[in-house]
Structure 1
Amino acid sequence: MGVVLPLRFLFVVVFVEVLTGFHGVGCSSQPPMTPIPFDLYHSSAALLKEIKATVVRHPDTLTMETIKAGNKGYAAEVLVVTYNRQTEDVDDQSKLRVLLSFGQHGRELITSEVALQLLSVLAKERNMQRADLMSLHKLLDNLVIKMVPMENLNGRKLVEAADLCERRNGRGVDLNRNWGVDWGKKEKDYDPYEENPGTAPFSEPEAQIMRQLAKSFEPHIWANVHSGMEALFTPYDHKNKTPEGSMSNLMDFILREVNHLHFEDKCLVGSGGGLVGYLAHGTTTDYMYDVVKVPLAFTFEIYGDSEASSKDCFKMFNPVDKLVFNKTVDNWTVAFLTLFKLGFLQLRDNHFAPSADLRKWVPFGGLVDNDFSKILFREDGKLRFYELPLALIRKHNRIFPHSQKINLFMFIWSINYKEILVILLKIIEG
Structure 2
Amino acid sequence: MVGTDPISLEKALENTVIKVVPMENVMGRKLVEAGDFCERRNGRGVDLNRNWSVDWGKKEKDYDPYEENPGVAPFSEPEAQIMRMLSKTFDPHIWVNVHSGMEALFMPYDHKNTTPEGLTSQLMKSMLEDVNHHHFQGRCLVGSGGGSVGYFAHGTTTDYMHDIAKVPMAFTFEIYGNPSASSKDCFKMFNPVDAATFQRVVADWCGAFLTIFKTSPELLRSANMTQGRWISIGGDSVEGLLLERNGRGRGKKTDGLEFGMSEMRTYFRLFILSCFFLMFMFCSRITKSKCRHGSSLHA
TM-score class, shorter: 0.7 to 0.9
Q: Which residue of 1 aligns with 2:177?
A: 304
**1:159 alignment counterpart:** 32
Conserved? CA contact 1:228–1:302, under 8 Å: yes
Q: Is the 8 A contact 1:173 1:196 kept in 2?
A: yes
Amino acid at match of 1:235: P
Partner amino acid, structure 1, of 2:127: I
Residue pair 1:348, 1:365 contacting (<8 A) in 2 also: no
**Equivalent residue for 1:170, pick from 36, 43, 50:** 43
Unaligned runs of 5+ in 2: 233-299
Q: Which residue, 340, 348, 351 being the options, matches 2:213?
A: 340
Q: Tell me, which stretches of 5 or more residues in structure 1 are unaligned?
A: 1-127, 355-363, 367-430
The yes-or-no answer on 1:268 pairing with 2:133 is: no
> Where does residue 256 of structure 1 map in the other structure?
129
Note the C-alpha offset of 1:348. Answer: 2.8
Match of 2:158 in 1: 285
Deviation >6 Å, runs of 4+: none
**1:185–1:281 CA contact under 8 A, matched in 2:** yes
Q: Percent identical across equivalent pairs?
A: 70
Offset, 1:287: 0.1
Secondary structure of the residue aligned to 1:131 is: coil
1:182 equivalent in alignment to 2:58: no
Change (3 A) 1:158 1:352: closer
- The 1:353–1:330 alpha-carbon spacing in structure 2 relative to 1, beyond 3 Å, is closer
Residue in 2 that maps onto 1:216:
89
Distance in 2, Cα, partners of 1:226 & 1:315: 14
Q: Which has the larger radius of gyration?
A: 1
| 2:2 aligned to which of 113, 125, 129 | 129
C-alpha separation between the residues in 1 aligned to 2:213 and 2:226?
A: 21
Q: Per the alignment, in what secondary structure is the counterpart of residue 143 of structure 1? A: coil
Alpha-carbon offset, residue 345 of structure 1:
2.0
Q: 1:133 to 1:365 in 2, by over 3 A?
A: farther
Moved more, 129-138 or 291-300: 129-138
Whole-angstrom CA distance in 1 between matches of 2:113 and 2:225: 32
Deviation at 1:353, TM superposition (A): 8.0
TM superposition score normalised by structure 2? 0.75
Q: Which secondary structure does the structure 2 equivalent of 1:231 belong to?
A: strand
Q: 1:323 aligns with which of 196, 200, 221?
A: 196
> What secondary structure, in the 3-state scheme, does the structure 2 residue paired with 1:242 have?
coil
Q: CA offset at residue 337 of structure 1?
A: 0.3
2:59 paired with 1:199: no
User: What does residue 141 of structure 1 align with?
Assistant: 14
SS state of the match for residue 18, structure 2? strand
Deviations 1:1-47 (A, max 9, x none): xxxxxxxxxxxxxxxxxxxxxxxxxxxxxxxxxxxxxxxxxxxxxxx
Q: Tell me, in whole angstroms, the C-alpha distance in 2 between the residues paired with 1:225 and 1:132.
A: 25
Q: Which amino acid in structure 2 is aligned with residue 343 of structure 1? A: S
